[in-house]
Amino acid sequence: MRFLEIFKQLNQIPRPSHHEERVANFLCRFAEQLGLEYERDAQNCVVIRKAATPGHENATPVVILNHMDMVCVAEPGRTFDPLNDAIVAREDNGWLKADGTSLGADNGIGLSMALAILEDDNIVHGPLEVITTTNEEDGMSGAAALSPQFLRGRKVINLDSEDYDTITTGAAGAYLQMHHLPLKRIAVESNLLSWLRVTVEGGRGGHSGVDINKGRASATILILRLLSLLGNEIKLDVADIDAGQASASIASRATAIIGVGSDCREQIESMVERFNQKLGEEYGTTDPGVHCVVTAAEAQERFIDAADIKALLTAVANIPQGVVKMSETMPGTVETSNNVGRITTEENEFTVSTHTRSFVEADMVALGKEIRDTFASCGATSEVLMEAPAWQENPHSDFLQLTSDTFNDVLGWRPRMVAMHFVLEAGFFVQKYPGIEMASIGPRIVEPHSTSERVELSTCHDIWRVTIELLRRLA
């Protein structure tokens, strides 16, 4: 299929969040080569417009929505520069996977379908707009900054969905914060310390929305728990903490460099062994691969003041990780959650990201404030990077019923209509473009935002067929 060829081209272009310039350039060139009208805004969002198929000029304009960025993560030990390296995909028993990194099927497959539609003059459609936003995965700043004049259509096919058998009719809101906790470094005076690298690895990780209720281990939480455990029994100096790879992911790997007395190595290893036994008891069913290892580390010249380590441990220990509340009105659906995605050690501060989601805006904002207050009590300052509104479509609308009928007629079955605990840009679109209607569909993508991300190829072909037929019916 042509869209898979385009996806391969797309994966040659590095496109982590906040660095979408090259993808935007690609989209503009794509439009120019086809002789199509396009606009590009200051956030690098791009809309490409294609006139209706002759005879369908009076049809209702239709919008196809995608985002151009992806969550970039790599397997431990793999050399991967998300700003410069391509994604290498391979087919495996009917699935498309990446070689040691996340795949970018979220949302690259949907974007590739949209571009293939623009390219194919045999597809029947009314006036068409293909809009591609930026920074969807780490702040939604592209959608938030869209001009009210940027989009003309009001019926939107959003191809940013991972549940093949579902029309997503609602999405949680999101509240992304970055917390800055000051730290002081102290010169190492003793040359008798043994420096060790403690690593939590092997966890499944995953999407901090759709996977948050699956019992996945957060390496970010576990590395701090282990440091607290070790520090209660052994005098240790912490030189560095690096946990998680993306705010929107459940961390699968975290490391800390610690200095201990040279006679403590055996005790450390014994404690880590007991810690691993405890992990087996906690995650043996839901995340059986997660474990901790201890290796030698290079000698350090400075370590972090113990009071600052304690402040970090206290702050994170007093905020929730995972499901906070299940919905009472949508059985089996997470209503509110929080994820501690990343912890990095800078020269003078720790930075900690928290990603709070909820279908209830007041609860989301209140939990965000509680988290911010908790960090403030430990000496931190915080900034809100994103406050994305929740979204709920009317499942009985004519547009969604038409979409459901199209699934049934093309594939022989009706999809579920479900609100999902991930965040979509739909809330911003509803705010900015009154009267907008949205149907969110997509192929089966498993483990997005992780190195296990994969997309089932047969479902890609099915969603392509549904989308083409839906465009014809809307024309």
Residue 421, CA atoms < 13 Å, CB-side half-sphere = 29
The terminus-to-terminus CA distance of the chain in angstroms comes to: 23
- Written as six digits, the tokens of 367 are 């939990």
> Which residue type, as a one-letter code, is found at position 153?
G
Whether 347 is catalytic is no
- DSSP string computed for 317-352: HTS--EEEEE-SSSTT-EEEEEEEEEEEE-SSEEEE
| pLDDT for position 104 | 96
Q: Which of 20, 106, 129, 136 is catalytic?
A: 136
**Which residues are CB-contacts of 258 (< 8 A; sequence separation ≥ 6)?**
195, 196, 198, 227, 230, 236, 237, 238, 239
| pLDDT for position 422 | 82
| pLDDT for position 415 | 97
Residue pair 426/171 in contact (Cβ under 8 Å)? The answer is yes
Which SS3 state, helix, strand or coil, does residue 6 take? helix
The ranges of the chain with pLDDT < 70 are: none
**Which residues are CB-contacts of 434 (< 8 A; sequence separation ≥ 6)?**
none
- DSSP string computed for 30-71: HHHHHT-EEEE-TT--EEEEEPPPTT-TTSPPEEEEEE--B-
Across the chain, how many H-helices and E-strands are there?
Answer: 11, 26
Architecture of the domain made up of 2-172+390-474: 3-Layer(aba) Sandwich (3.40)
Q: Which of 20, 69, 387, 437 is catalytic?
A: 69
Whether 136 is catalytic is yes
CATH of domain 177-388: 3.30.70.360
- DSSP string computed for 275-312: HHHHHHHHHTTT-TT-EEEEEE----SEEE-HHHHHHH
Which SS3 state, helix, strand or coil, does residue 94 take? coil
Sorted by where each begins, the domain ranges of the chain are: 2-172+390-474, 177-388
pLDDT in tens, 206-242: 889 889 999 999 999 999 999 999 999 999 999 999 9
Q: What is the DSSP letter of 172?
A: -
Which SS3 state, helix, strand or coil, does residue 167 take? strand
